[in-house]
Chain A
Amino acid sequence: MEDLKSFLIEKVLLFESDTLSPETEKVLQKVRREKPDHPVIFVSSGTSSVIAGSEKTHSSIESYIIENLPNAELVSVGCTGPSNFEPLVCIHIPGKNKLFYRNITEEKVEPLLNGVFHNEINEEDLAGQSGTKGFELWTGIPFMDELPFFAHQKRVVLSNCGCYDPENIEEYIARGGYRSYIKAIRHYTFEEVCDIIEKSGLRGRSGGGYLTGLKWKHALNTTSNARYLICNAKESDPGAFTDRTILESDPHRLIEGIAIASYAIGASNAIVFMRSGSDHALNRLQKAIDRAREYGLFGHNVFSSGYNLDIKIRKEPGAFVCGEETALINTLEGKRGMPQLKPPYPTTSGLFGKPTVINNVETLINVPLIMQNGPEWFRSMGTENSPGTKVFAVAGKGRMSGVVEIEMGTKIRTILDDIADGIREGKEFKAIQLGGSSGSFITSENLDITIDYEDLRANGIGMGAGGFVIIDENTCMVDLVRYYMEFIRNESCGKCIPCREGTGRMLEILESVIRKPLNEESGTTLERFKGVMQLETIASVMKDTSLCGLGQTAPNPFISALKNFRDEFEEHIFDRKCRANVCRGLRLFSIDVDKCTGCTACAAKCPVNAIYGTRLQPFFIVEEKCIGCGICFDICKFSAINVK
């Protein structure tokens, strides 16, 4: 191991020429496991894989190998992308293409490996094959990159995800890692690195879309004795998991990005602000940082370049608003995470009053790629104003879900129809929610909008941080808006009145819209009618007068839902009906006398004892008592319960 380390430092990292010697390449090929002489089994190990049971799969493969395949190697890799394929197992038999198997739970391991290693490949759980020239093809098996999920993607940022062991720094270096960082600190000045990034046109991926190179230059041009770089990995929007996937699957490239960015602004301290609750990602990143430090990639006077760098991880203590730049700085300074008025911007006066650059995970992970391939390469992807790619966490009711990366300028329709493969269980499409709790809804008329900062902005939609939630007809928009409002109400820091009071009032009104009071009094009716009378006003006041982005964007889901689904709101308010049958208060249950057999199952389960009847004779529901919980509907075996 020590030999390999000194070899990699000497012959790869510090090697002056861009092309390595053939002998070095040969060693690197072995490290990359490109042409193994023994079977290699890769098991995914991201959070979504762990949830699906990959740890058990891993240990069961491990024991199988010990018993039956003593020369085989088992490697934990990051997340490949499709969540519904997890746990994903990839088998590489020497000389043949890699085979990918999906949903390999613990009990499927033995029959699968027995089959594969005796030339009887099990087609049932097979996802596809992949490989390069020189390997024997498996006939009749589709290629992974030809599957619709992958074919419409352009995987640049995610290119390493699922391909290598994220805890193995040697493998990352063998894939060309850390070389652009070393090149930058040895051969480029601070300004040159900023110039390259500015030329590439990379824009901040956290939603705002500010030019990254320009931001760096602001910080670099502010005179100060210290500067800070903060990597904002506090991704806590409900339904977004892109940053976490990157952290778990490719932590080294992120570290390289952080290191290059720190160098570009002349910062000798970098902080990764991690979301709490994703311990898996935190451990991976910590291990990766420790390994990189062992290699001397940071510390004092890195590789005699005269540059000092220290990277630290700080765990977020749990407040959504901390993702806002100034609130994040307050948290790091040990204060309550409340936002402050801008300007001064963090690039002039940030952490401890020093110039600070705060970049998102996805922005930073693009940096090593741009340094490696040049700004023109980056400009060749995407659109004129939004070059590059964008990573989305596709979730919700699509057939496929997971982390996807598309070229800027791709139509939203492509993601929905091709990558996510439409809606599950043949349901009707309703909307797409882009950008989490501060985002907007995209309806079927708007599916031809492209993913591009300007195009989205022209349509009043924010890019968001990467949430892409597919919503089907079974979802009630009013209830969904209430859910987002409840989330923001809980997370509002309480500093400014429009946000603190506005979110509370909006939530109250939305709750009164979906609730059915036991006795309809004038006050409750009035409260409900406020839904149409006042919500819009409150929303616009919040938008105009809130202090930070959280409050300003909090009404977005409501505004966009009201614009696109006004009829649904009016149905709730005036007709007291929920067409998706979601709003509990508005459902009316009744028992079909012809179908009811009098089995008493529903009466026994009813939490408010609203179902009466005699055994073996049709039962009935007392409407006044019913709270609309729907337990009777779920439990009835004879579908005798009607919902209106």
Chain B
Amino acid sequence: MSTDVGTILKNYKQGKREDLIPILQAIQEDLGYLSEEAIVMVGSFLGLSTTKIYGLATFYDRFRFIPSGKINIRICHGTSCFLNGSQAIINKIKEETGVVSGQTTRDGNFSYEIVSCMGGCHNGPLINVNGEYHIHVKAEQLPELIKKLKYIIEND
């Protein structure tokens, strides 16, 4: 794992402060989250204390500090989806998975995040399961969908 971070850091030879966010983004893209070791490595590379890096990374929503689930659901909560009932979807997913947005279930299967607008306003409410869009979602369809996804994970 640490070799990956090393190769990412090689792309930023000068190691300036303004490279911090792109480095963290690249690490997250590679690992899926920001691990403690990765942050320590970035800190020693840029000459910044890890607390400073954590202070910055926790400010922004996109950085995760725990791996995302095998199934990551993104729920659109833009105005249009909200008008069409995305709150019910969020409540249902929260109920089904038992975690809040940004966390991962204990078995590592599910995680979900709420995003502000995915751009499919006419087809809302909208969710995105591992890159695949589901349109006109209704809260009562979700238990079945999650059951199906669980089945897929278990049989993989």
Contacts and interface: CB of A to CB of B under 8 A. Distances in A.
A and B held together in a complex? yes
B135 interface: yes
Interface of A: 46-48, 50-52, 83-84, 86, 236-241, 244-245, 276-278, 314-320, 331-337, 393, 395-397, 401-402, 433, 436, 467, 469, 471, 475, 480, 483, 487, 493, 631, 634-635
A251 to B, nearest CB: 16
Given A239-B80, A318-B63, A334-B18, A47 B120 contact: yes
Interface in B83-101: 83, 87
B59 interface: yes
Interface stretch (B2-10, B110-118, B146-154): B110-118
A52 B82 contact: no
A627 B128 CA distance: 29
Nearest to A634: B140
B126 to A, nearest CB: 7
A319 B57 CA distance: 11
B121 interface: yes
B116 A487 contact: yes
Contacts of B38: none
A280 to B, nearest CB: 9
A244 B79 contact: no
25 contacts: A46-B119, A51-B119, A84-B122, A239-B117, A239-B121, A278-B119, A314-B21, A315-B25, A317-B21, A317-B25, A317-B63, A318-B60, A332-B18, A333-B18, A334-B16, A334-B18, A334-B20, A334-B21, A336-B56, A337-B60, A395-B80, A402-B122, A480-B82, A480-B83, A483-B82
Given A51-B135, A333-B18, A334-B19, A319 B59 contact: yes
Interface string B11-28: 000001111111011000
B21 A277 contact: no
Given A238-B78, A395-B121, 19 more contacts: A46-B119, A47-B118, A48-B119, A236-B116, A236-B117, A238-B79, A238-B82, A239-B79, A239-B117, A277-B118, A278-B119, A314-B22, A315-B25, A318-B60, A334-B17, A334-B18, A401-B80, A483-B82, A634-B140
A241 B101 CA distance: 23
B123 interface: yes
Contacts of A634: 140
B9 to A, nearest CB: 15
A236 B77 CA distance: 11
B122 to A, nearest CB: 4
Contacts of B61: 317-319
A579 to B, nearest CB: 16
Contacts of A635: 140
Given A239-B79, A317-B63, A47 B17 contact: no
Pairs A-B, 10 closest by C-beta atoms = A318-B62, A239-B79, A51-B120, A395-B121, A318-B61, A317-B60, A395-B80, A83-B122, A47-B119, A334-B20
A335 B20 CA distance: 9
Contacts of A393: 121
- Interface range for B: 35 or more
A493 B135 CA distance: 32
Given A241-B121, A315-B25, A317-B24, A50 B133 contact: yes
A48 B55 contact: no
A397 B18 contact: no
A215 to B, nearest CB: 23
B18 to A, nearest CB: 4
A277 B115 contact: yes
A471 B55 CA distance: 39
A314 B20 CA distance: 12
Contacts of A397: 83
Contacts of A48: 119-123
A644 B115 CA distance: 33
Contacts of B79: 238-239, 395-396, 433, 436, 467, 469, 483
Interface in B60-86: 60-63, 74, 77-80, 82-83
A241 B122 CA distance: 12
Contacts of A471: 83
B60 A396 contact: no
Nearest to B120: A51
B80 A337 contact: no
A239 B18 contact: no
B77 A238 contact: yes
